Chains A and B, each alone.
Chain A
Amino acid sequence: MERTLAETIKEITKKHLEENNGLIMGQCLTAVGWVNHTVPDCENIIELPMIDVAGSGIVAGAALVGRRPIFVIRFQDFINLNSSFIVDYAAKTKYLFGYGTPIFIRALSTEGKGAGPTHSAISHSYFMHVPGIKVCSPMTPGEYQEIWDEFMKDDCPMYVSEHRHSFNQTKELEDIILPNADITLYGISASRFNMIEAAKELEKKNIKCNLSHILWLKPLSLDRMIKPLKESKLGLVIDSDFEIAGASQSIAYELMKQTGYRVEALGAEDRPTGTYERYENGTPKVEKIVEKTKNLLKKK
């Protein structure tokens, strides 16, 4: 039977806690649902009190003495309070002091169902701006294993932008490169699922889309991403995080710089999220991706 992403996270964590003397630390880890069934019931779970700010400092200290803690932020919005020790300390120790502070930061996000203004953020773009930290957004079991293996290779802290909409995912998401494609769509985080649906809608209108999935945001490797763009000569980077000064704009800029082809960005709107559905903000909906793509093609 295929493993879901949530089961994969749980298995990786269990192995780390039981075999590597690792730690998992966070608030309410063993409460209802055990963080969407991603936390195993075993030793080395540290329930942090509601001490946002100090919490990440304690995690950093545990990392310094070799415990390679997994730090769970149940809603990415909460990272704002916890970020000082990550941005100001963990990301800098390698450069300043010669040793790293390896923290695996599981930053979860969600959208809809009234998540509202402080429980729906996706904040990977903030961390792309910080030297000394790796940033990724895995949406499949295989990708999660890949980023975990990468984390264990060195002592660099890693910001893992997770999305609850992906936790039941069992299949890998492969790039699609079509002959004579009209556009290349690049997806980040949960927008990858909407991107796939949008491509199906566009196909019905005889618009052929290459699909390119972005796992690593920092360091960013453009090699695999450039080839389909050279074929389609037009690109769109779609992200669940805010578009303005965010990952989508940054990567679109890098792609344009490398190829000279037009690449635009589409992400969450530059406004807070409201609680009720009509005020939601976040991953661009399928219709919005379709509309944006059609408009871009008109300019091609």
Chain B
Amino acid sequence: MVLIDEKKFLDIYRKMDYTRKFENQVMSAVDKGEIKCPVYLSIGQEAISSTLSVFYKPDLIFTQHRGHSVYLAYGGDIGKLIDELLGKDSGCNRGRGGSPGIQDLGIGMIGHHGLIGENVPIAVGAALGDPSKKVLCVFGDGAAEEDYVFTAMGFAVTHKLPVFFVCEDNNLSILTKKSERRSWELTDATKAIGMPSANIPDDPFVIAEYVKEFRNNLPAFLNCRTCRHRWHTGTGEDGKPEKDRLEIFREELIKNGLEHKIYRTEQLNGVEVEKLWKEHLQKQ
């Protein structure tokens, strides 16, 4: 593969790597007892929000509990996120939301209250209330099964609302696989009601193509199949993950001769993330 837009894909990698390094610090803080609230890690799923953030610039962002990667990819205030995880008043939700309830109005990211998929009707309502605003709505494959998700998507089609729906489909609801829960794909249903939809892997090259195609034809829906590395909540893991998109993408970029730029990015990310965590932990 030859990279047409090297700069953009390097930026995606930078964000993926940054998120991974950030969440490695979260895991360390949890394991040391410095973070005392439940955490919902995006590790393994970073490619989706990192790619979206490079190609789609929404005015309002509605996520759900596993929202660190979206927050970081879209440039949310990192210090406030660390403080939120530490339960401080200076956190992005004054310590009242914790990991599942993060927000940053500076990037248009609205807080989530903890019930999966409820961000979907709320996002649709915001788009109805102010159609001049482009909306991003991210949820998971478990949330996709909530009855109010599809009905809200249908409402968005009826009213032609500018919402980009994205499902981070990690195939797991807690630990129950999708095949044990349902026999259908949400993209089949959304296609049937006339919404541009695709069911794709979380490969940044593929996501980028679809985002470019769909972003001016909203509402639209992307179901991105991904791999969550850690437990639903907390830092635990059940063996080696099926795949690591970060590693796969890194190899692709290196094959394209970006080795030095990758190393440099990783080095800078590492220094910055470590410094920030150190500063905020010391303030405790």
Contact = CB atoms under 8 A, between A and B. Distances in A.
Interface of A: 23, 46, 48-49, 51, 53-67, 69, 84-85, 88-89, 92-93, 95-98
A58 B110 contact: no
Nearest to B159: A46
Nearest to B126: A61
Most chain A C-beta atoms within 10 Å of own C-beta, residue among B114, B122, B152: B122
B77 to A, nearest CB: 14
B101 A84 contact: no
A49 B113 contact: no
A49 B115 contact: no
A66 B97 contact: no
B98 to A, nearest CB: 10
14 contacts: A49-B151, A49-B154, A49-B155, A51-B148, A54-B147, A54-B148, A54-B151, A57-B121, A58-B124, A59-B125, A63-B125, A96-B113, A97-B101, A97-B103
Interface string B130-166: 1001000000000000011101101100100000000
A58 B153 CA distance: 11
Interface of B: 60, 93-94, 96-97, 101, 103, 110-111, 113-115, 118, 120-130, 133, 147-149, 151-152, 154-155, 158
A53 B122 contact: no
Most chain A C-beta atoms within 10 Å of own C-beta, residue among B103, B123, B151: B151
Contacts of B129: 23, 61-67, 69
A66 B133 CA distance: 13
B125 A58 contact: yes
B93 A64 contact: no
A57 B154 contact: no
Nearest to B101: A96
Closest 9 CB pairs between A and B? Answer: A61-B125, A57-B121, A62-B129, A54-B148, A58-B125, A65-B129, A97-B111, A61-B126, A61-B122
A54 B121 contact: yes
Contact of A85 (B110, B122, B147): B122
Nearest to B133: A65
Given A46-B128, A93-B111, A96-B111, A88 B118 contact: yes
